Every structure is written in structure tokens, then in C-alpha cells.
Chain A
Amino acid sequence: MLPLRFRRVTMSARVLVGVKRVIDYAVKIRVKPDRTGVVTDGVKHSMNPFCEIAVEEAVKLKEKKLVKEVVAVSCGPQQVQETIRTALAMGADRGIHVEVSGKDYETLGPLQVSKIFAALAKKEQADLIILGKQAIDDDCNQTGQMTAALLDWPQGTFASEVTLEADKLKVVREIDGGLETIKIKLPAVVTADLRLNTPRYATLPNIMKAKKKKIVNVKPADLGVDVSSRLEVLKVDEPPQRQSGVKVETVHDLVEKLKEAGRI
């Protein structure tokens, strides 16, 4: 007989998955002429690849009947509904669109998003939050960690394997030295790394079903979250152009050149 707590967690477990709308990974990024940011108008956007992996993991847990409901969440303007629909087409059950637009959206960062997620986790009584480890536009790698801290939940970041064992999550993490395995108690926050899984292609029947699934609109104020930013972007520049290298004749010359450049 399973302990009551385990039964409660797995039978009715609700997973929140964050999905971020970012510039598509294949697009060549251009800095705006006024150097305040990058060009986003008319540029192809899609779901952050790590968020795709997060959705896939949540849907797999649901297919294994380890969780009951997968809720896809995205923060941003009207267009993020496309991203939520993609998550629904991959198998999420419903979506929450947190409306943030205009200047607020331009300055939206991990701190505000993690506050939103923390508030939603409490409101939706989530047992698990799965996020991508980072977004490919800002590469912050902060939202998961901040969300866990705000909720005072354990975190399993850079996950390359997640297994539910009784009321604990066994998470194998990719770290600099190799792989680290930890066990954390639910409720918890997990961030997905590249090798966690291979996201599925949305099947046509699932795309059809996604049309009928609900997306609810919520404002940050409704969640008691202030989305104003404490950061100011001073300027955005292209990376420096790659300089051509210099050829030298001997190892001695090489050492001299390196000394000249102050490298040794």
C-alpha cells in the first residue's frame, strides 16, 4: 500500500511548464541601429529549445501516469499564445498566458518571471515546475533557481535525467566535472538540459486537439507581481569582429609574440 502522501502527489500531481517565445535559433541576429537591442520585428520566433525539452519531459511524465496535469505558462504579449499552443500540441493540457507587453515586456527578466511562476505555483497548487535551463536569447540561466528560492522549494537544475521515486525526484545533473545525482522532495523545481530528452514533433491529431484546449489570460497585477525592472540596458553591440591570426616561424617566436600580447 503506497503511503497516503505519495498517492496524493502522484495521482493529482500538477506540473507547471514555462515556455518562452524567443528568436528562432537559426536566425542571424542583427543589432538595432540605435544599439538598444536586437531586431525582432518580422523576425522568425519559436519556442526556446530548452523549453521544448521541458514540455517533452512533463508530457512524458503524464504519459507514464506519474502526473495528472501539465499546464503550459508563458509571459508576454499576444504572440506568446502561439508558443503556448505549440506546448498544447505537444501534449500539455491547458495554458496560462500572463499578459506583459510594451516597455514592461522589453525589460522583463528572470526576477519578475520567477515571481510570476512562484505566484502561479501557489495559485495552481503545482507540485512540480519544469523550466528550460536557460533561454537562448538572454542566456540568463536564473529563472529556475530564483523560482525555487522564492518558493523555498528544492531545485534540480541542468537535469539530464529525471525519475520519480516515491515522493522524491531523482535528478541526474550535468555539471562541469561530469554527472551528479541528487534526490529532492516534491514540490520542486527542475530545469531541463540538452540531453534530458528529444522533443516530439507535434502530431496532426494533437494539433487539432490543441485548438480545443483552454488558454487563460492573467495579468501580473492579479498575481501581486510588480514587473517593473531594476535593470537598465545601456547598450547592445555586436561581438567584436574576428581578427585574422598571425603566422610565426618557430616556437621561440610564438613565445615572444605571446609575451608581447601580455598573454604569458
Chain B
Amino acid sequence: MAALFKARRALGMVVGHGVRCLSQLAELPELHQMMRQTCRDYAQKELAPIAAQLDKDHRFPAKQVQELGAMGVMAVEVPESLGGAGMDYLAYCLAVEELSRGCASTGVIVSVNNSLYLGPILKFGTEEQKKQWITPFTTGEKVGCFALSEPGNGSDAGAASTLAQREGDEWVLNGTKAWITNCWDASATVVFATTDKSLKHKGISAFLVPMPHPGLSLGKKEDKLGIRASSTANIILEDCRIPLGNMLGERGMGFKIAMQTLDSGRLGIAAQALGIAQAALDCAADYAHKRTAFGAPIGKLQAIQFKLADMALATESARLLTWRAAMLRDAKKPFTKEAAMAKLAASEAATFVSHQAIQVLGGMGYVTDMPAERHYRDARITEIYEGTSEIQRLVIANNILKEYQQ
């Protein structure tokens, strides 16, 4: 009986919210369609042609980031009063997917700025902090980054060993953060440090640090497999002093801020993975029409057809999960489980689809003349950052067990 009630409640969350929700899954509202189209046009014309070179040169697309800032894409959810576009999270996910379809590195740069940097400040910042740390980061002139992981802990976020000690009217930060996306191009960061080691994860706090800043230095840029146009490096804090007003949220709130930020952030990554998957599918389907073997285009062969069907299915399923999670978030309903499902599904879809795309292209898939190899390399990280696939499975399982609590 209780199970039935819970099932009905779960269904009600989707249907009861209004037919608008379901029909949005079937077809996006006009506003979102227009937004998606403008991002798709931009990605096709401005990102796709340079993506291969950006990857080769490991070059940050500064000009494109500025243009995207002017379009409002660097701060989709930020209200207009603070300089953002004032749109919802579904719109943001659509934007990241379309941009990632052109260039996955640009997609993650946009995603990190929106979800991981602007997100927590928007949610937990004071009015003063919002003006100082949000508005300059909406135009594309400046981007931010998010420093949670350390050399000693990634998934084990509660074990942060970076310390923050209060000295008079300053916080002094010491420690090293690892794998920080955007850091070589960023002008500010949200840093997580322990203020009370005895409280374990409840003793972590969040801080806002401008970049560059005395006491903050950057490690060497990592030489990555993929998303090479986005910089990734360590952030080293040695006696880094910041005013007391730079604490984000309350003392000890850091872990909660990090987890809630990542809940949303993983939808951005899900969107990025969808973009990569779609780009790989585009590449494979196009090739299936053009390449002939055994006297006909290979698209006529069932082996290729089954691959394309599986690739499209994986992408579309993950896309609907992503949209649903975004819509739940926009409706201010709990969305943690759905976000984890979306990120898991999308990232595994990206690796599957890009793997199969190389297979469809055969030898051509292995060389840099075609983008398939870049999609394969770009896809791989989506299963790792902002919560590994293993962590996503734990999140989903925990939520399910809670739903079925005896």
C-alpha cells in the first residue's frame, strides 16, 4: 500500500506539476527552441570550424567566450539585474549541449562558469558578494572556477586537507587543489577549505578568492587526453590571505554548498556529454551515407544501421533524463537522483556513441582528418569529473533506498 502511494506520488511529481511538464518533454516551448537554435547556429558557424585547431593548440577560445558572454550564455540563470540572461536551467542545459556539439572544450568552459562558479554565489552569496563576484563574470570578459578536489581526495570530498585559519580580520588559506578546470584563464575561484578539522566534513567552508592573488599560484597545465582547449591545473595556496567577507555562506556550510553545486553542475556536464554524443552521431551518420563498400553506401548495411540506432537511442534517452532533471530543478522540486541519472546516462552515452562512431568510420575514425577521434577523447572525461560514474551510482542507490525506507 505504502509502495503504491509512493509510486503515485512519484508519478504525480511529473504529471501533477502540470501538462506543461510532459509536453515540454515532447516539444520544447518556443522560447527554448529559439534559444537552442541561436546556440546551434553559433556553434556551427563559430565553434565547429576551429575546434580541431583549438584542441591541437591547447588554446583557450577567449574571443568566442567573449562573444558568448555578449549573447548572455556565460550567465544563463543569473537574473538580468546582475547582468545575466535570466533564463531557466532547461535553457542552460540546451545551450551547453548545442555549444558542446561544436566544441566540447568551449562547452565545459561555459558550464564551469555557469554552474560551478556563478551557481553557488547566486545561491549562497550575500547581495554585496553577488555584485562583486557575479556581475563582472557575466560578460565573457572574466571566467571563474571551482576548487574542491585535491591531490589526496576527489570522490572523498569530505576529506579536504586544505586549511583555512582565522588570523585577525583575515582568513589564511594553505593547501593544494587539483584538477581545476579553467584555472589558467580564471579571474576568481570558489575554494573549499577546512575551518574545523575535528568536525570532519561539517568543518569545511567555502571562500571566494580573486585571481591572481598573493599566495595563490597555479601548477603546470595538465596535458590531457581531451577537452584540451580548457586549462586544467593545480591551485597552490601558500599563506593566501583573504578578507573575512570572502567567506561564502556560513562557516561549516562548505560541504553542503559543494554537494548542492555539484547536483546542478552535473546537469551541465550531462549536457556537455550529450553535445559530444550528438556530434559523434552526426559524424557517423553522415559518413554512413557517403562511404560505399560492397557496392552501396555503408548505411544500407544492417551492422551499421544497428549501431546508429543504438547510438541515437542512448543519446535521446540521456537527453530526456537531462531535460527532466532540469525541469524538476526549475520547478524547485528535489532533483538529486534525476541529475545523477542524467549525468551517468549522458556520460556513458557519450563514450559509447563516440566509440561506435570511430568504428563506423573505420580507419578514417582513427585519424585527425575527421572529428571522430576528438569526440572519443573529449567524451572520456565526462564519466570522471563532477562526480565519477561510481559516485553517481551511489547517489542513485542511496535515493532509491530512501524511497523504499522500511
Contact = CB atoms under 8 A, between A and B. Distances in A.
Nearest to B42: A201
B108 to A, nearest CB: 19
Which of A203, A204, A205 has most chain B Cβ within 10 Å? A204
Contact of A204 (B30, B41, B72): B72
Contact of B80 (A85, A86, A205, A210): A205
B38 A89 contact: yes
A172 B34 CA distance: 33
A201 B38 contact: yes
Sorted nearest first, the 8 A-B pairs with minimum C-beta distance are A204-B72, A204-B85, A203-B71, A202-B38, A207-B34, A203-B72, A205-B72, A201-B42
Nearest to B91: A204
Contacts of A203: 38, 70-72, 85
21 contacts: A82-B30, A86-B37, A89-B34, A201-B38, A201-B71, A202-B34, A202-B38, A203-B71, A203-B72, A204-B35, A204-B38, A204-B73, A204-B91, A205-B80, A205-B85, A207-B31, A208-B86, A208-B87, A210-B34, A211-B30, A211-B31
Nearest to A26: B44
Given A85-B30, A89-B34, A211-B31, A204 B87 contact: yes
Contact of A207 (B35, B41, B42, B70): B35
A30 B367 CA distance: 33
Contacts of B346: none
Nearest to B80: A205
Contacts of B37: 86
A82 B29 CA distance: 12
B42 A204 contact: no
Interface of B: 30-31, 34-35, 37-38, 41-42, 67, 70-73, 76, 80, 85-87, 91, 95
Interface in A192-239: 201-205, 207-208, 210-211
A205 B86 contact: yes
Contacts of B71: 201-204
Contacts of B31: 207-208, 211
Contacts of A207: 31, 34-35, 38
Contacts of A204: 35, 38, 71-73, 76, 85, 87, 91, 95
Given A201-B41, A202-B38, 14 more contacts: A82-B34, A89-B34, A201-B71, A203-B38, A203-B70, A203-B72, A204-B35, A204-B85, A204-B87, A207-B31, A207-B34, A208-B31, A208-B86, A211-B31
